[in-house]
Amino acid sequence: MLENKNPQRTSISQLGEFGLIEHLTKNFEIRQPSTLKGIGDDAAVIDFKDKKAVVSTDLLIEGIHFDLAYMPLKHLGYKAVVVNLSDICAMNAKPTQITVSIAISNRFPLEAVEELYAGIALAANEYKVDVIGGDTTSSQTGLFISITALGEADESEIVYRNGAKANDLLVVSGDLGAAYMGLQVLEREKQVFLVNPQSQPDLDAYTYLIERQLKPEARTDVRTLLHALEIKPTSMIDVSDGLSSEILHLCKQSGVGCNLFEEKLPIDPQFINTCEEFNIDATTVAINGGEDYELLFTIGLDDFDKIKANPNFTVIGHMVDEKEGAHLITRANTKIALKARGWNALEE
Ligand SMILES: [Mg+2]
């Protein structure tokens, strides 16, 4: 349904590996003062001066992490960058550089790789990160993309997963669950398309959900927002695998428990409507659906007044003693143990 109709197919072998790298990277500019040397030597050179370096890496595999039937290559490139920048944001650091490595089978022409790189370039531009290196190689089947993101932060700014204390408030940016429902909509349309390739999907009712799935954004703004509010979180993580799984990471590493309140979960009206249409429980998706790339963090009780009226953030619970465990408090006031079920639970 989203196949590239471009008939031009230039074989990559015409360029050779070095020609390909040069062709794909010739327009990348260097913006960060910390990048002393980017692409073009045996290694890049970075100088963070008195800042600490934060590094995160991710590997995405066709058929496991993405499906090119509904994931346009440009979006894939963009998303591959964003998911890595999100991890840098989750340390309360500023993303500055990325490296990009891809392995591609010969079913991809040069034009396809150019699309992928157009998405990478768009994200690099959007988030002002420098592309400073990487590798390009061939694969027997399918597409692999691995991105490493670097970031910088003052040592005192960095937020780990292990600093939450009992009575701290649990806060999340943005809203939850939409990316998962976007994927459900795209999967459904793919099945329709397989039966009837002539069908034109009407996706108007799902634009927000699909955008959250195909073009997520990294919350680089949260660091700035919190700084302006004079709040330093006590612990932080990004929501990639699903809220409950991330809450349990904070709990385990901080040695605390948690009460999460169902009625506080920030969810979008389009998300609620689509859950009803698919006959899926909205709370289940909001706490287990992944790929929201929002930031989940804890703050001291004293900081509540600074954050309570801010539309970017929602207080969804509070931390408790470890022995009390981690629970969801439902609207009916029943207590359900949180489980790290992630995506699998929704597919059972
Ligand atoms: Mg993460």
Same domain for 85 and 182, yes or no, is: no
Residue 124 Cα to ligand 1 midpoint, Å, equals 19
Provide the CATH number for the domain around residue 29.
3.30.1330.10
* Alpha carbon separation from 131 to 127, 155, 290 (Å, rounded): 11, 24, 27
- The answer to whether residue 4 is domain-embedded is no
249 in the same domain as 181: yes
Cα 330 to averaged position of ligand 1 atoms, centre (Å): 26
Indicate if the pLDDT at residue 88 is higher than 70. Answer: yes
Q: Which residue has the higher pLDDT, 313 or 22?
A: 313
What is 32-100 written as a DSSP string? -TTEEE-BTBSS-EE--TTSEEEEEEEEEEBTTTB-TTTS-HHHHHHHHHHHHHHHHHTTT-EEEEEEE
Query: How far is it between the farthest Cα atoms of the chain?
Result: 65
- Give the pLDDT confidence score for residue 209 in this predicted structure: 97
Ligand 1 centroid to Cα of residue 10, in Å, is: 37
- 246 C-alpha to ligand 1 centroid (Å): 8
Domain boundary among 133, 157, 181: 157
Q: What per-residue confidence (pLDDT) applies to 13? A: 81
For residue 302, give every residue at least 6 positions away whose Cβ sits within 8 Å of its Cβ, in sequence order, or none: none
CA distance 109 to 285: 38
Instruction: Indicate if 185 and 100 belong to the same structural domain.
Output: no
Residue 342 — very low, low, confident or very high, per pLDDT cuts 50/70/90?
A: low
Q: Is residue 163 part of a domain?
A: no
Q: Note residues around ion ligand 1 (Cβ under 5 angstroms).
A: 87, 238
The answer on 114 and 76 residing in a single domain is: yes
pLDDT at 10: 85
Q: Decide if 164 is inside a domain.
A: no
Residue 149 scores a pLDDT above 70: yes
**Pairwise CA distance, residues 275 & 283, whole Å:** 9
Are 69 and 135 within one domain? Answer: yes
Name the binding residues: 42, 56-58, 65, 87, 117, 134-135, 161, 238, 240-241, 291, 343
Which residue ranges are tagged as binding site for ATP?
117, 134-135, 161, 240
**178 and 151 co-located in one domain:** no
Nearest to 239 by CA among 256, 270, 260, 257: 260
User: Is residue 346 scored above 60 in pLDDT?
Assistant: no
Rounded to the nearest whole angstrom, what is the distance from the C-alpha of residue 297 to the centroid of ligand 1?
A: 12
How does pLDDT run across 213-267, given as a tens digit for each residue? 999 999 999 999 999 999 999 999 999 999 999 999 999 999 999 999 999 999 9
Let me know if residue 162 belongs to a domain. Answer: no
| Residues forming beta bridges with residue 295, ordered by sequence position | 238
Same-domain status, 185 and 65: no
- Specify the pairing of strand 335-337 against strand 94-104: unpaired
Residue % of the chain over a pLDDT of 90: 79
User: Are residues 76 and 196 both part of a single domain?
Assistant: no
Q: Mean pLDDT throughout 41-47? A: 94
169-209 per-position pLDDT tens digit:
999 999 999 999 999 999 999 898 888 888 888 899 999 99
CA angle 281, 321, 317 (to 5 degrees): 35
Measure 56 CA to ligand 1 centroid, in angstroms.
9
Same domain, yes or no: 106 and 173: no
Q: Is 2 part of a structural domain of the chain?
A: no
CATH number, domain with residue 334? 3.90.650.10
Q: Is residue 276 part of a domain?
A: yes
Structural domain range at position 105 = 12-157
CA 12 to ligand 1 centroid distance, Å:
34
Which DSSP state fits 115?
Answer: H
As a whole-number percent, the residues of the chain with pLDDT over 70 amount to: 96
Of the three residues 124, 157, 190, the one that is the final residue of a domain is 157
Tally of domains within the chain: 2
What secondary structure does DSSP assign to 132-145, as a single string?
EEEEEEE-SSSEEE
Q: Does residue 27 carry a pLDDT above 90?
A: no
d(Cα 38, Cα 44) in Å, to the nearest integer?
A: 5
| Same domain flag for 89 and 226 | no
β-strands 35-37, 326-329 pairing: unpaired
CA of 270 to the centre of ligand 1 (A): 26
Rounded to the nearest angstrom, the gap between the alpha carbon of residue 25 and the centroid of all alpha carbons in its chain is 24
One domain for residues 143 and 251: no
- My answer on whether 141 and 274 are in the same domain is no
Domain final residue pick, 157, 192, 222: 157
pLDDT tens digits along 201-211: 889 999 999 99
CA angle centred on 69, ends 63 and 71, rounded to 5°: 85
99 CA → ligand 1 middle, Å: 18
pLDDT of residue 34: 97
Q: How far apart are CA 91 and CA 110, in angstroms?
A: 36
